[in-house]
Amino acid sequence: MAPLTVLGTGLAGYTLAREIRKRDREVPLRLVTADDGSAYSKPMLSNALARGKTPAQLVMASAADMAAQLDARIDTHTRALAIDPAARRLRTDRDEDAFSQLVLAVGADPVRPDLAGDGAGEVLSVNDLDDYRHFRQRLAADGRVLILGAGLIGCEFANDLAASGHAVTLVDPAPQALGRLLPAAGARQLEAALSELGVQWRLGLTAGRVDRAGSGYRVTLSDGSRVEAGLVLSAIGLQPRTALAADAGLATGRGIEVDRWLRSSDARVFALGDCAQVEGLVLPFVMPLMQGARALAATLTGTPTAVRLPAMPVVVKTPACPVVVAPPPPGAQGEWRIEATADGVLARFEQPDGRLAGFALTGTAVAQKQRLSRELPPLLD
Ligand SMILES: Cc1cc2nc3c(=O)[nH]c(=O)nc-3n(C[C@H](O)[C@H](O)[C@H](O)COP(=O)(O)OP(=O)(O)OC[C@H]3O[C@@H](n4cnc5c(N)ncnc54)[C@H](O)[C@@H]3O)c2cc1C
C-alpha cells in the first residue's frame, strides 16, 4: 500500500505525524525532508543564546528517534523535486515513489534583501537549525551584529544578542520597531528597553551595500552613513514555498491555497504550516499549525474535519519589554485606542461599532492577554 506521505519535518510535519499516530497506528507513513530531520522547536532559535543553549542542545530528537517513535519511514537529506497529483507519485533527488495522500509541510523561504557590494552574498538569515549552527559559528568570531528588519524576528534576535553581550544595530525602513504589529506608543517602549541593552537603532533607513572590510563588513545605509559589523543578519520576512505545488499545477497565491480541510486544488494533496494559505490566510506561527495538524490528522485518517482557528495572539520574545500582539486582519476598518499603563500600553483596535478586532500590549499590560483574546472574533469559525 502506498504510504501517506508528508513533505517536511519541521513543526508542521512532525506535529501532523504525531497526530496521525494518535488516531491510526497502522497506516504506512513516510516523511521526506531536505534537512537532517532533527526535531527542534524553531521559536527557540531567537532566544537560545540568553538561555545558554547551543545549537546541539536545541535538538529534541534525531530523525532515527522520530522514525522509531512514529513508526514511520523518514527520508532525510532528500529533496522533493516534482509531484504528479494525477498519478499520485512523488519524485525526489533519490527516487520516485507512490503516495496515497500527500501533505506539503515545506515551510517558507527567507526573503533575500536587495543589496550591492562584495559582501551581499554573505548576509545570513536564520530560518532553520542549519542556518542557526552557521550563525553561531560566525558569531563566535565577532560579536558585532547588524540586523536588517525590526519586525518580530529581528527584534527577538536583537534582544537575545544584546542581552548576551553582543553589539547590535537594527536597521528598518519604517520609523518604528514592529511597524506592522504595534502602534507607535508601544513601539517606543520596546525601542527604549532594547536601547538600554545597548541596541543602536537606525530607523527610517535601508541598507544599500554590504562590503567586506577586514574580517567583517561595512554596511552603507540609505543616508550615506556606514556601520561596521562582524556579521549581517537579514530578518526582512518570509515567503511560503509554493514552487513544488505551482509546478504540479496546484493553485497557489501567497501560499499553497487550501480550503478549511487544508485540501489543495487536488483532493489528494494537502498543505500545512508556513507554506499554506488557508482560506486566504497565511499564518506563519506555531498555534495555527497545531490546530491545523489536529484537524488534518482526522481528515487524513477518514474523518473529514474542518480546521477552526480561534484568535491567536503572538507573544513576542523580547524579555526586555514584554509584548503581545493580535494584529487586526488585513483591511480591517477601525482605529487604535491607546491607554497608557504604568509601564506600557494597552492598545485596542476597535471597529466602528466598538467591537474589538485586534490588540497590542506591552509591559505589565500583557497580563490582559487572555481577557482580550476572549473578546476577539475567531480567525476561522
Ligand atoms: C527565529 C524564529 C522565531 C520564531 N518564533 C516564533 C514564536 O515565538 N511563536 C510562533 O508562533 N512562531 C514563531 N516562529 C514561526 C514558527 O517557528 C514557524 O511558523 C514554524 O516553525 C513553521 O514550521 P513549518 O514546519 O511549517 O516549516 P519549517 O520548520 O520551515 O519546515 C519545513 C520543512 O520542509 C522541508 N523542505 C522544504 N522544501 C523541501 C523539499 N523540496 N523537499 C523536501 N523537504 C523540504 C525542510 O527541510 C523542513 O524540514 C518563529 C520563526 C523563526 C524563524
Tens of pLDDT, residues 70-99:
999 999 999 999 999 999 999 999 999 999
Residue 344 pLDDT: 86
Task: Give me ligand 1 centre to Cα 240, in Å.
Answer: 10
Residue 337 pLDDT: 94
Ligand 1, closest atom to CA 275?
26
| Residue 216: pLDDT over 80 | yes
| Residue 191: pLDDT over 80 | yes
Q: pLDDT tens digits for 123-139?
A: 999 999 999 999 999 99
Task: Specify the residue with its C-alpha closest to ligand 1, atom 27.
Answer: 107
Q: Which amino acid belongs to residue 377?
A: P
Task: Give me ligand 1 centre to Cα 8, in Å.
Answer: 9
Residue 334 pLDDT: 93
Considering the four listed CATH numbers 3.40.1410.10, 3.40.50.1100, 3.50.50.60, 3.40.50.300, the one that applies to the domain covering 4-108+238-300 is: 3.50.50.60
Residue 342 pLDDT: 80
Task: Specify the residue with its C-alpha closest to ligand 1, atom 46.
Answer: 8
Residue 94 pLDDT: 97
| Residue 140: pLDDT over 80 | no
Give the residue-averaged pLDDT of 207-216.
Answer: 96
Residue 276 pLDDT: 98
Does the model's pTM come out above 0.95? yes
Task: Specify the residue with its C-alpha closest to ligand 1, atom 53.
Answer: 127
Residue 343 pLDDT: 84
Name the segment(s) of the chain with CATH classification 3.50.50.60: 4-108+238-300, 112-234
Task: Give me ligand 1 centre to Cα 175, in Å.
Answer: 29
Task: Give me ligand 1 centre to Cα 227, in Å.
Answer: 31
Residue 331 pLDDT: 83
Ligand 1, closest atom to CA 287?
11
Task: Give me ligand 1 centre to Cα 93, in Å.
Answer: 21
Task: Specify the residue with its C-alpha closest to ligand 1, atom 3.
Answer: 43
Task: Give me ligand 1 centre to Cα 348, in Å.
Answer: 30
Ligand 1, closest atom to CA 106?
34
| Residue 103: pLDDT over 90 | yes
| Residue 220: pLDDT over 80 | yes
Give the residue-averaged pLDDT of 317-323.
Answer: 97
Give the residue-averaged pLDDT of 180-207.
Answer: 95
| Residue 330: pLDDT over 80 | no
Give the residue-averaged pLDDT of 203-229.
Answer: 97
Share of the chain above pLDDT 90, in %: 93
| Mutation choice for ligand 1 from 9, 40, 42, 161, CB with most ligand atoms inside 8 A | 42
Q: pLDDT tens digits for 150-160?
A: 999 999 999 99
Task: Give me ligand 1 centre to Cα 105, in Å.
Answer: 9
Name the segment(s) of the chain with CATH classification 3.30.390.120: 322-375
- Distance between terminal CA atoms of the chain? 36
Please tell me the number of Cα atoms within 13 Å of 38 on its side-chain side.
14
Residue 253 pLDDT: 98
Task: Give me ligand 1 centre to Cα 107, in Å.
Answer: 5
| Residue 202: pLDDT over 80 | yes
Class of domain 322-375: alpha beta
Residue 89 pLDDT: 98
Q: What's the whole-number average pLDDT of the chain?
A: 96
Residue 66 pLDDT: 98
| Residue 24: pLDDT over 90 | yes
Residue 192 pLDDT: 95
Residue 329 pLDDT: 83
Q: pLDDT tens digits for 255-267?
A: 999 999 999 999 9
| Residue 141: pLDDT over 90 | no
Task: Give me ligand 1 centre to Cα 307, in Å.
Answer: 20
Residue 339 pLDDT: 93
Class of domain 112-234: alpha beta
Residue 205 pLDDT: 98
Task: Specify the residue with its C-alpha closest to ligand 1, atom 38.
Answer: 106
Task: Specify the residue with its C-alpha closest to ligand 1, atom 15.
Answer: 285
Task: Give me ligand 1 centre to Cα 336, in Å.
Answer: 31
Question: Which protein residues touch ligand 1 with a CB less than 6 Å away?
Answer: 7-13, 32-35, 42-43, 45-46, 79-80, 105-107, 126-128, 153, 241, 244, 273-274, 284-287, 289, 314, 317
